[in-house]
């Protein structure tokens, strides 16, 4: 049990450093935001000091993650509630929102600011996708179309069409994505049109 606890706590430092570097925040800026001294933050990241709950709470708040995510705690309870974010090498984060065999799978994507002149790498795969923008501007390249979607806008397409998602240089983007099997379409209900007065 102690060995497992030691390994878990030793992994916190590198995770804290990675989170800070992804956000492009200095130790001085982090110290100002959390009230934790620069030297303590440096020692935590280097693994020279074990984190306390009083230190983890403001760090988790600043990074917008749970304490479980900071310490990589093992999942407990209902697996649908403890789905963990997937941190990608490019700084993007994918949050699975469902975990069930078959049917539509839901994800929340958080993509860092991109480069407007970046050449997108289009991909294809089996399935059907719906994307809904929550915050920021989502650049969606879909076949020959290069679209900019704003908060509240959505796209629906067959994923056999070459496609690519990204953020613009204006900043990060958050969007929901529903991925279904080939040929599966969204069932959208709309209010009936009002009848013109007679």
> pLDDT for 55-93, tens place per residue?
888 888 887 777 777 776 555 445 444 567 777 778 888
C-alpha separations of 151 from 46, 53, 160, 181 in Å? 39, 36, 25, 26
H-type alpha helices, 47-122: 53-63, 67-71
Q: What is the pLDDT of residue 36?
A: 92
Closest CA to 53 of 73, 39, 38, 28: 73
Length, in residues, of the chain: 198
Banded model confidence at residue 37, pLDDT cuts 50, 70, 90: very high
- Residues 111, 167 contacting (CB under 8 angstroms): yes
Query: Average pLDDT of the chain?
Result: 79
User: In whole angstroms, how large is the CA radius of gyration of the chain?
Assistant: 21
CB 180 within 8 A of CB 165: no
pLDDT at 185 over 60: no
Residue 171 has phi, psi (to 5 degrees) of: 145, 180
Share of the chain above pLDDT 90, in %: 23
- Percent of the chain beyond pLDDT 70? 77
Q: What is the pLDDT of residues 39-48, one digit of tens each?
A: 999 998 988 8
């Amino acid at each position: 049990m102690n060995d497992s606890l030691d390994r878990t706590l030793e992994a916190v430092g590198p995770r804290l450093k990675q989170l800070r570097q992804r956000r492009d925040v200095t130790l001085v800026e982090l110290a100002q935001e959390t009230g934790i001294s620069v030297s303590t933050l440096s020692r935590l990241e280097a693994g020279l000091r074990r984190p306390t709950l009083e230190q983890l709470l403001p760090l988790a708040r600043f990074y917008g993650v749970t304490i479980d995510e900071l310490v990589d705690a093992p999942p407990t309870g209902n697996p649908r509630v403890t789905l963990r974010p997937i941190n990608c090498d490019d700084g993007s984060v994918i949050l699975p929102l469902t975990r069930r065999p078959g049917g539509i799978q839901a994800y929340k994507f958080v993509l860092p600011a991109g480069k407007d002149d970046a050449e997108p790498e289009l991909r294809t795969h089996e399935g059907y996708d719906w994307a809904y923008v929550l915050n920021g501007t989502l650049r969606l390249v879909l076949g020959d179309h290069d679209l900019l979607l704003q908060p509240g806008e959505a796209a629906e397409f067959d994923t056999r069409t070459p496609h690519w998602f990204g953020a613009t240089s204006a900043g990060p983007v958050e969007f929901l994505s529903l991925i279904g099997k080939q040929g599966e379409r969204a069932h959208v209900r709309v209010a009936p049109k009002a009848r013109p007065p007679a």
